[in-house]
Structure formats: C-alpha cells, structure tokens
Amino acid sequence: MQQPNQSYSRGAQDKALLAETIGQAFDRTVAAYPEGEALVVRHQHLRYTWRQLADAVDLHARALLALGLQAGDRLGIWAPNCAQWCISQVASAKLGVILVNINPAYRSSELEYVLKQSGCQWLVCAGSFKSSDYHGMLQELVPELAEHPIGELRCDLLPELRGVISLDPRPPSGFLPWSQLSAIGAGVPPDQLHTRQASLHFDQAVNIQYTSGTTGFPKGATLSHHNILNNGYMVGESLGLTAHDRLVIPVPLYHCFGMVMGNLGCITHGTTMIYPSDGFDPLLTLTAVAEEQATGLYGVPTMFIAMLDHPRRAEFNLSHLRTGIMAGSTCPIEVMRRVISEMHMHEVQIAYGMTETSPVSLQTGPDDGLELRVTTVGRTQPQLESKIIDEAGNTVPRGQTGELCTRGYSVMLGYWNNPDGTREAIDDAGWMHTGDLATMDEQGYVCIAGRNKDMIIRGGENVYPRELEEFFFTHPAVADVQIIGIPDARYGEEIVAWIKFHPGHVANELELQTWCKGRIAHFKTPKHFKFVDEFPMTVTGKIQKFRMREISIEELGQG
C-alpha cells in the first residue's frame, strides 16, 4: 500500500477517457455543431463552420488516398500556422497516416535529418516563412524534384520521399500545388475514405514530434490517437471549454501546445479555433482577442509579457477573456498578476509536460490561488500518475527533491525507430522519466526545481546542447565546444557557447553568429560566446557545466 507521505499522486478518475480515433471525435463534433464556427484563420481571411471544415478535411483526405498514402505511412508538414496545417492534421488522422511535425524554423540539415529518420513519403511545405526559403532549401536538398513526374520522385538522399505538396499557389517545377488537391480528391469515391477510417483503432500511431529526450540528435516521439486526443480533451475539461468558447492559438501548431492543447482541445469540445497570424505577433494576437471576442488565450510567458507591454494594448477590449494556459517556463508572479487583472484571465492555468507525454501531465485548476499558479505546475492530470524518485528509483518523501516520473494514457508509444532511446526513457513499469527535478507537497502540487538534462528553454523553444555542440564541431576553427543556458528576463533562458579553437585558428562572435545563419534555426544561435583555452573540470576530467553557468552569469550580469 502506498505510504501517505510518499511523493506519489494519482489524478482524478471521474473523467472517462475517450475510446475513439481523432477522426471519430472530429466527426462527432461536426454532427453536434454543424453550423458552429470551427476555425478562424485571420491572416488568410478564412472562416469555416464545422461542416465546412469537415468538407475540406474529407476532400484533402481523399486526395492523400489518391497519392497512395497507406495507413502507417508518414506525411511531413513544414509550415507556419495556417488553415492547411489544421486540415492536414485531421485528414491524415482519418487515414491512419502519421503526421510528422517539422519546426518551421528548421534549416536544410535539420530538415534532411527529420525526413530521413522518419521516412516521410510525402511532405507538405510552405513556400517561405520569415527568412526561410522552403522551396530553395528543398531544391538544394532534393534537386531530383524537377527531374521526375510529380509523385514519382526517386532520390538517393531521401529514398522514401515520393513528392512535395506546396502551399504556394505557383511553386517551382516538381512541386504539387495544394490548390490541385481538390480536383485530385474529387476523383476518389467517399466510400474509400470511410472504409479506411473504419479500419483504424485508437492505439495506432498518428503523430511524430521531434525532441532530444535526454541527449544527442532529435528523437521522434511517436504518439497515438489515444495519447493526444485524450490529452487535448483533459486540458479542455480543466479549462471548462464548451461550444460557446473561442480560443486564440498564437503558439506554433508544430508543437504539442498548438496541435494538441489547441486544436484537439477545441475539436473535442466544439470550441472555435482562432489563429491570429502565421507566427506570434503581439499586436495581431491582441487584435484577434478583441475582434473575435475570445474567451481563451494560450501562450508562453514571453508572449504574455509582449502583449502586456505593447504600447497599444489599452486600445483593445479584452473583457471577454476568462481562461487560457501559460506554459513553457515558470511564470513570474507579477506577470501572472497582470494577466489576471489587465487581461481578465481570472481562470488562467499553468500546465507542465513534455512531448513524450502528449504533452500535459500536471496542471493547475481554475480555482487555484495566485501563489499556486506561480510556484507550482499544479497537480496530476486525470487518469495519470506522478511520482518523484531518488537515484536508486525509490519514491522520495513529500517535500524532498527527486526526478519526476509520469505514467498513464499520455506516455508515448516510443521513439520512432529508436528502441534503445525508448528503453532509456520509459522503464519496465511504464513510467516516463522526465529528467526534471521536482518536489511534491502534501496536497499533491508539484514544483519543478530544475533539470537533470541540460536542455535549455528559450522563449518556449527547446534547445538541446548536445545537438548544438555537434553542429559547432563542424566549424573548421572549433576544437571543442560546450553549450549552456543562463537566465534571461525576456526569453527565460539565453544560450552561451564556450569555445576552444584549434591551434592557429580564431573566429569572433559575429563571425560565428553569421556562420550559424541559414544553417540552424535562429532560436538555436547562441547570443553569447566565451572563448577559452580550457573548460572547468573535475579531477576526473568531467566537465563542470554548473561552474560554466556560474561564471557566465557573473560575467554577463544575468543573475
């Protein structure tokens, strides 16, 4: 029997899990609210009722059938927030096709890795976004695109890739324009889609999201219908979402925050999804909240700070807001006070999780006080378990620090084609080891104390030092490199690169930052560099990253 003073918690059992696929849940909502507003995409000037969204989803799914996608095949999506992202998410789920989320900030080397590791058969991509020329990167990576008939690509570098669908109305030769999918889908009888959808079950994989887990190159967290549909549903239940709510989603859809807590949370409750822009913009988000009379808003603390501090914020009526989620990093108490008082989000909640757990495993409630919302990440979500353990695997007493572990419906199926990585993350009893240090109080509220991993969270984006270190090793002047994170008032953390040069080689900060541009995502580029002859080490030769952090914080005045 579990000892009452042990750091173990079981979430409420009064909310039953949904025993259905994403397609079934979507169709159920469409049947319940056919004329309700489902999706508003302000930057594309698009609005869909649930019936209209269903028509678009089904036509797109039939087009994917015509392109030969089978259940279990992988469809990559490399695009910022847009209507086509949502349509692709639901359409692929209806076919049992696994959607592979690709960060819009990725550059060619990162894209190549993800496409190859996941074995994508098709890719949906934007033409460009911010400083990224997606078409150009793909033409450089896969020059064979222009040489083969559409859908019959043969490429040694990416042997499983068959074609690329472009969201641009006039893409280069070799790309299939999204606008042609309607005609392609119209040639496939609806019965073929219904037959495919009826053959699926909710434990099948439906999504791959890349995360480094603990160390090394990104791992593809493989998530099932059951994983992410129920997580979106439980988050929405905690927020009290209904068909009368309108949720503004400025967070990226490629991440669980957008596509699970946002899209699936809304789909399971008939709530209107509102995309204010393709990428986060504080003014466009405030405008969307006011003009759409939104009742809910998502964001990481840096987003809320940007909105609160915007010089035009007072112009907007935000009085319809009542709830939302702040996640990604700890929220400063003054920011939480202002979100509640100035943005009227009296029921705003904090959520904690990781991609491997679909993502949310702990969440505050609508009635939790201000102190709990800024010092804890809430209690264990319904139908899940949490425990905090020591290095020997024993559950520690309440109030004592240890590693946080999660078990239940939300834990991923595993890392795609990486059984060793899966075994390292999920133990024989089914517990996902988060790598985060935490404490649990007598009421079951959990406080995150730090991270076992060296992962850096910069503005809500996960940055994995090992991956970045491997990248810097490819620079001809760099002999050794260590990447650390230090506190930052704006982004939560900033990246510092400690670099040792090869004898006779040298480079300055600007040269290295320029070298990063176009090769890695902008948010991974270190803000600070420190050039050294040696790293702080123990007597046994182990690098002391904690000392590097202390030195960097002191020298840069970032304490």
**CA-to-CA dists, residue 503 to 86, 377, 400, angstroms:** 52, 48, 47
In whole angstroms, give the CA distance from residue 559 to residue 32.
Answer: 53
User: What one-character DSSP code corresponds to residue 331?
Assistant: P
Q: Do domains 8-15+219-451 and 50-201 have the same CATH topology?
A: yes
The domain ranges of the chain are: 8-15+219-451, 50-201, 456-556
pTM of the model: 0.86
| pLDDT at residue 213 in the model | 41
Contact 452, 435 (CB under 8 A): yes
Contact 254, 104 (CB under 8 A): yes
Taking only the tens of pLDDT, the chain with its 559 residues reads: 446 699 999 999 999 999 999 999 999 999 999 999 999 999 999 999 999 999 999 999 999 999 999 999 999 999 999 999 999 999 999 999 999 999 998 999 899 999 999 999 999 999 999 989 999 999 999 999 999 999 999 999 999 999 999 999 999 999 999 999 999 999 999 999 999 999 999 999 999 999 864 445 789 999 999 999 999 999 999 999 999 999 999 999 999 999 999 999 999 999 999 999 999 999 999 999 999 999 999 998 889 988 998 999 999 999 999 999 998 766 778 889 999 999 999 999 999 999 999 999 999 999 999 999 988 999 999 999 999 999 899 999 999 989 999 999 999 999 999 999 999 999 999 999 998 889 999 999 999 876 666 778 899 887 878 778 878 988 999 888 899 999 998 999 999 999 989 889 999 999 999 999 989 999 999 999 999 998 897 555 567 888 999 999 999 986 5
Q: Quick check: helix, strand or coil at residue 45? A: coil
121 phi-psi bin (left φ>0, alpha ψ -120 to 50, beta other) = alpha
Assigned token pair, 382: 């319904």
In whole angstroms, give the CA distance from residue 278 to residue 41.
Answer: 9
| pLDDT at residue 215 in the model | 47
Contact 328, 457 (CB under 8 A): yes
What is the third-level CATH fold of 8-15+219-451?
Answer: Rossmann fold (3.40.50)
What is the third-level CATH fold of 456-556?
Answer: GMP Synthetase; Chain A, domain 3 (3.30.300)
Buried residues in 293-314 as b, exposed as e (16+ CB within 10 A): ebbbbbbbbbbbbbbbebeebe
Bridge partner list, 183:
none
Contact 349, 238 (CB under 8 A): yes
| pLDDT at residue 544 in the model | 83
Buried residues in 93-132 as b, exposed as e (16+ CB within 10 A): bbbbbbbbbbbbbbbbebbbebbebbbbbbbbbbbebeeb
Instruction: Kindly tell me the sign of the dihedral angle through the C-alpha atoms of 15, 261, 201, 59.
Output: positive
| pLDDT at residue 539 in the model | 55
| pLDDT at residue 340 in the model | 95
Residue 317 one-letter amino acid: N
**CA-to-CA dists, residue 339 to 190, 245, 299, 325, 366, angstroms:** 47, 19, 11, 11, 14
| pLDDT at residue 344 in the model | 97
| pLDDT at residue 450 in the model | 67
Contact 269, 301 (CB under 8 A): no
Domain 50-201 falls under CATH 3.40.50.980: yes
Buried residues in 411-445 as b, exposed as e (16+ CB within 10 A): bbbbbbebeebbeebbeeeebbbbbbbbbbeeebb
